[in-house]
Chains A and B, each alone.
Chain A
Amino acid sequence: DTGVSQDPRHKITKRGQNVTFRCDPISEHNRLYWYRQTLGQGPEFLTYFQNEAQLEKSRLLSDRFSAERPKGSFSTLEIQRTEQGDSAMYLCASSDGTGDYGYTFGSGTRLTVV
């Protein structure tokens, strides 16, 4: 297993367009998390899944954001009608749920909305 993979690494989009990001977690991990990180800040929690169930969604996440993990493996994060304030690094992480080693993070998708 090569760790957590995210695609694409970079995305530039025009304001108002929709974008979708993909995350492939470590295969044995049942938990998958999405975070958003802006420059000079720590990652902010967006949402997480245990297997295919979305267990929690941050109040920071507006209705324009939706995430899925249809078969309990990979996940997608979609942002509709992007705004300049959505520009950030979107990080995906997975864990085995025991908490002993925290999360393993992917390299992130850097979104720039112009």
Chain B
Amino acid sequence: GQNIDQPTEMTATEGAIVQINCTYQTSGFNGLFWYQQHAGEAPTFLSYNVLDGLEEKGRFSSFLSRSKGYSYLLLKELQMKDSASYLCAVLNQGGKLIFGQGTELSVKP
């Protein structure tokens, strides 16, 4: 089967750092993606990992361990506008993106 798990919701303080974890079991693996989705809007691409290690892009970083079926998204210097749902998704063997349920992040002042 295919399964992607991430926490349902998280809360953090403006200016802080938050880590959103994702574990996966899928039929094949061709990369892991993180998307950001504000309420009522389309998901937007944040990051892509296909090899083990850390990818850094400004305030956002994403880590992948293929042997552990694990990834995390790290958000630094949190801003109020970072309040959104964060979706972990795996590109499976068939070239299809399989999504987790999303983590609703609330950033408080």
Contact = CB atoms under 8 A, between A and B. Distances in A.
Interface in A18-58: 31, 33, 35, 40-45, 48, 56
A87 to B, nearest CB: 15
Contacts of B99: 35, 42-44
Given A48-B96, A105-B43, A107-B41, A42 B87 contact: yes
B102 A40 contact: yes
A31 B97 CA distance: 12
B25 interface: no
A101 B48 contact: yes
B98 A97 contact: no
Given A41-B102, A43-B99, A45-B96, A102 B42 contact: no
Interface stretch (B12-20, B28-36, B53-61, B66-74): B28-36
Interface of B: 4, 8, 30-31, 33, 35, 40-45, 48, 87, 89, 91, 94-102, 104
25 contacts: A4-B42, A31-B95, A33-B96, A40-B8, A40-B101, A40-B104, A41-B102, A42-B100, A42-B101, A44-B99, A45-B97, A56-B96, A91-B42, A93-B97, A99-B30, A99-B95, A100-B48, A101-B48, A102-B31, A102-B35, A102-B91, A105-B42, A105-B43, A106-B42, A110-B40
Interface of A: 4, 31, 33, 35, 40-45, 48, 56, 91, 93, 97, 99-108, 110
